[in-house]
Chains A and B, each alone.
Chain A
């Protein structure tokens, strides 16, 4: 990883605590994300990984803590604000628009970038038409990039799981995000699909300079593609560092392997 250049801290999470009733999903978690890095959040089941991502994305509001995005403080983040601020995400249980074609799904990702007003769109006036074409070009680029040309007209509901995950990623990329949040991008995939997905994630990071925050279950995969790793267990942070550092961390080993205390 030595050849890669990281930038400043782009996303800083400070003392995040989140609980649902008596369940403490996250306890006083702090970590930062550097521009252009691949940052992984790992941990056993129920460690609070998805909760963490949902906090960053504004789906959950933490009871305590701060989210600082490019130096800007967000006390009350919501999904819409997150999207506007350049955060895109994928979902663990794919949340695509099932009735719509792959192309339409990805086009929805351009929504925030569209300027023509409704009246113009309705009557397909000049500016709306030109705009639609521009966005379409961008979307076609992404389709090429993710190698899903052959399914662009297919309704998403009919695609196999692995491809749906790829469309989910495509939709997120269509937003041209600064930070890409991936919720278990490799879950439920076979080895080949996993390799493809890894390649895509690294390519996105490399070619577009997109910062990637990902949650993953599969330790092997994470260690291969991440620059730095945060380890959560029972809502607490038990490790943070490069893959090698994390791998050598006794707390992490015991959390994963259940060492004797």
Chain B
């Protein structure tokens, strides 16, 4: 029982991290109807910026305080992600208003390669350390309930907590504010949104800024686990099944999708793995996504697409 619970919690926490990346996809898809292939590249770009500036800033200022360095690096990275968002709107999206979804998708593919390249040109292509003081040691919990207690990874726990907070904030933003409403309106119909005086350009900048910040948070958390390196951009691929499962248009869906996949991966690996020789964790999510695509293509919470014939 304790072992099961331990696996379950581990799954939930790693699921929360998937959700964080999935959120980036959902945000941009909701607001512009674009499947943003560049989300992974943005995570990498943000993580590199965070890692490098937290290294450079103490050198430039000649000080030795990790906390201040991190805060400054975070602020600079936020600013950089804002600039990236603004440039994407200015140079790419503005010229593609009212275009087909496929065109926009291809554009984000281009942005992805561009960001990958430019990120590594500016910040270098080694593996860099992000140290935001995440505790690395695991703790024992519930020792009174189970014999030996259950082992919790503190780092994962804090990461899950941060993700949860971000999700709550974003949900409120989307559902309760009039800017959020305008964002949803733009997502549904560019032309109609324009005709009622919603400024498309500004909305898109806001959305990419929000997605940029989400990418930064994801980049910092994943980066402090794995190091800021090129493979971070493939983290986004792991979030793909999550968005398929949860539905591309649903913030709660991204969370629940992440949790289901996180838990499913861990449980199947531990309990089914031995029968098939292990390795389930790697393909479990994609398998689940495939099943969903066959039977419920809009995902758990996505809006069903009904076309008038």
Contacts and interface: CB of A to CB of B under 8 A. Distances in A.
Interface in A68-109: 78-80, 82-84, 88-89, 91, 95-100, 104-105, 107-109
Q: What band does the interface of chain A fall in when counting residues whose beta carbon is under 8 Å from B? A: 35 or more
- What is the predominant secondary structure among interface residues of chain B facing chain A? helix
Nearest to A78: B194
B191 A95 contact: yes
B179 interface: yes
B185 A97 contact: yes
Contact of B179 (A89, A121, A157): A121
A32 B303 CA distance: 43
Contacts of B206: 118
Given A114-B178, A118-B179, A109 B188 contact: no
B178 A112 contact: no
Interface stretch (B2-10, B196-204, B286-294): B196-204
A53 B237 CA distance: 45
Interface string B162-196: 00000000001100111111101101110111111
A175 B195 CA distance: 10
A124 interface: yes
B177 A80 contact: no
B188 A100 contact: yes
A105 B193 CA distance: 10
Given A97-B188, A157-B303, A79 B176 contact: no
B306 interface: yes
Contacts of A97: 184-185, 187-189, 192-193
Contact of A79 (B173, B181, B191): B191
B184 to A, nearest CB: 6
B193 A108 contact: yes
Contacts of A88: 195-196
Contact of A108 (B185, B199, B249): B185
Contact of A132 (B178, B188, B192, B194): B178
Interface in A129-174: 132, 157, 171-172
A96 B195 CA distance: 11
A122 B196 contact: no
Contact of B198 (A57, A105, A111, A116): A111
Contacts of A98: 188-189, 303
Contacts of A124: 176-177
Interface of B: 172-173, 176-182, 184-185, 187-189, 191-200, 206, 249, 303, 306
Q: What are the 4 closest A-B residue pairs judged by CB atoms, nearest first?
A: A83-B197, A95-B192, A97-B188, A121-B177
Given A95-B191, A108-B196, A108-B198, 18 more contacts: A78-B194, A79-B191, A80-B198, A80-B199, A84-B197, A88-B195, A91-B191, A95-B189, A95-B192, A97-B185, A99-B184, A99-B249, A104-B181, A108-B193, A109-B196, A111-B181, A116-B178, A124-B176
